[in-house]
Every structure is written in C-alpha cells, then in structure tokens.
C-alpha cells in the first residue's frame, strides 16, 4: 500500500447524474455503506456530544443522493426528533422519496446545490457537520483550508472515510463479487488509494486550542475522524 495518498478522478464524479452506470453505482454505494457500518459509527458517536441539549442544525457535505443521511436519521430521530438538516453537494441527486421520508421523520430538510468550498465561506453556523466517504476526494491543502472554515462554524465535525491499507485495497478488488458495476469497482480502488490512516486528518485540523481530536481505525476498512469543542452538557 502506498505510503502517501494518491488522488485520482473517480468516474462517478465525472459521469452525468442520470447516466445508467452512475445510477447503478449509487445503488452499489448504498450496499457498501451498509457493509462498512458507517451509519452505526455516526449514530453511536454524534449523540455522545449532545448529552442534554440536542443540536438544532446538522449539515452533511458531499451528501450525494441523501440516502445515507436518511438511514442515519432513522437512528438519530429517537434522540433528536426536531432538527434542521442541510444536504450540500455540487450535483445533488436527492430523490423526492428521500426528501419526503426525511420530512416524515419530523426533520426540516434543505438541499444546497453548491461547491462545498463555497458553502464553507458562508457566515451561518451549525451544530454538526458530517462527511461520509467524501474527504478523500481532495488533496491535503484543500482539506486544510476546508477544515479551517468548518472549525469556525460548528461544534462537532465527524467523518468516516476509506482506510488506506492493504486489507481495504484487497476488499476493493472483490467488489465485483457482490455485484458492483465497473464504476464502483474503479472508484473503490481509487478511494482506498486516496484514503487516510494514522493522524493524517488531525494534522490538517486547525491547531488552535479548544478542540478535542479523535482519529482512529473503524471496522476493517474505514478510518474515522471527530473534532469536537468542549463537551456540551446543557
């Protein structure tokens, strides 16, 4: 496995959203997310930072079709029955059924069709920002700039990404065995090569005081990072 991150274009980012191969790949990602158990990571981690007073606003960057957030919302609604959610993606492909399902949970939903780096410069604040299989698309210098902006706007930032390791690379070569198409197979390998390990994300977070950073291996193939301000107790 390469010592340093190698970032290559992923086909899903290039294909038109309505392309049949892109649509099939997004369906593949639903299965992969379930197998990697990222939903469980966020559902376990986020409530621990809001033990008494629930958050009012959550933002997902790189939200894609919004299905991952919907599955997460079904876990978190028991803790937070009334929250505002913003889905940020340059090319959002959020279906009406997903939006309706989120609204049916009692969550107010807004979709922002914008570049995440433009969104990060806006002045409004939120309680939580999450990123799922998104940060690995960017070089370190861009992530450092993004983290600087996010750190001024939120109380908690949490991410779950591919882990750059030989086990994850081997698993990416077997995606065809679970029915993934050529786009997913290509992007799976690329995402591992661009993934993270060690304290690579922590080193990019602003070094100013007042933040607790937790970065670790999560499951067999994932890498998690959580930056939180002083624990909120009321």
Where do the domains of the chain lie? 21-159
Cβ atoms within 10 Å of 175's Cβ, excluding its own = 20
Residue 172, pLDDT > 70, answer: yes
* pTM, entire model: 0.92
What average pLDDT score do residues 43-64 get?
A: 94
Q: Tens digit of pLDDT for each residue in 145-163?
A: 999 999 999 999 999 999 9
DSSP string, 176-215: GGGT--HHHHHHHHHHHHT-B-TTTTGGGS---SS-EEEE
**Fold assignment, 21-159:** Rossmann fold (3.40.50)
**pLDDT tier at 137, thresholds 50, 70, 90:** very high
Q: DSSP H helical segments within 61-107, as ranges?
A: 67-76, 96-104
pLDDT digits (tens, 9 = 90+) for 66-99: 999 999 999 999 999 989 999 999 987 898 999 9
**pLDDT-derived band at 233, boundaries 50, 70, 90:** very low
Q: Across all residues in the chain, what is the average pLDDT?
A: 93
């Amino acid at each position: 496995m390469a010592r340093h991150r190698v970032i290559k274009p992923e086909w899903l980012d290039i294909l038109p959203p309505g392309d049949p191969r892109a649509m099939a790949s997004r369906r593949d990602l639903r299965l992969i997310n379930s197998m990697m158990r990222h939903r469980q990571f966020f559902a376990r981690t986020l409530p621990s930072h809001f033990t008494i007073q629930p958050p009012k606003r959550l933002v997902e960057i790189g939200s894609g079709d919004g299905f991952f957030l919907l599955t997460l919302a079904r876990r978190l609604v028991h803790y937070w029955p009334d929250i505002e959610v913003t889905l940020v993606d340059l090319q959002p492909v959020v279906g009406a059924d997903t939006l309706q399902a989120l609204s049916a949970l009692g969550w107010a939903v807004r979709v922002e069709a914008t570049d995440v780096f433009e969104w990060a410069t806006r002045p409004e604040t939120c309680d939580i920002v999450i990123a799922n299989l998104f940060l690995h698309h960017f070089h370190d210098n861009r992530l450092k700039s993004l983290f600087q902006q996010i750190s001024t706007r939120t109380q908690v930032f949490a991410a779950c990404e591919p882990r750059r390791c030989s086990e994850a690379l081997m698993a990416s070569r077997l995606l065809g065995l679970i029915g993934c198409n050529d786009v997913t197979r290509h992007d799976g390998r690329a995402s591992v090569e661009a993934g993270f390990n060690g304290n690579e994300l922590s080193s990019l977070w602003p070094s100013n005081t007042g933040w607790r950073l937790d970065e670790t291996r999560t499951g067999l193939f994932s890498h998690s990072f959580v930056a939180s301000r002083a624990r909120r107790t009321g």
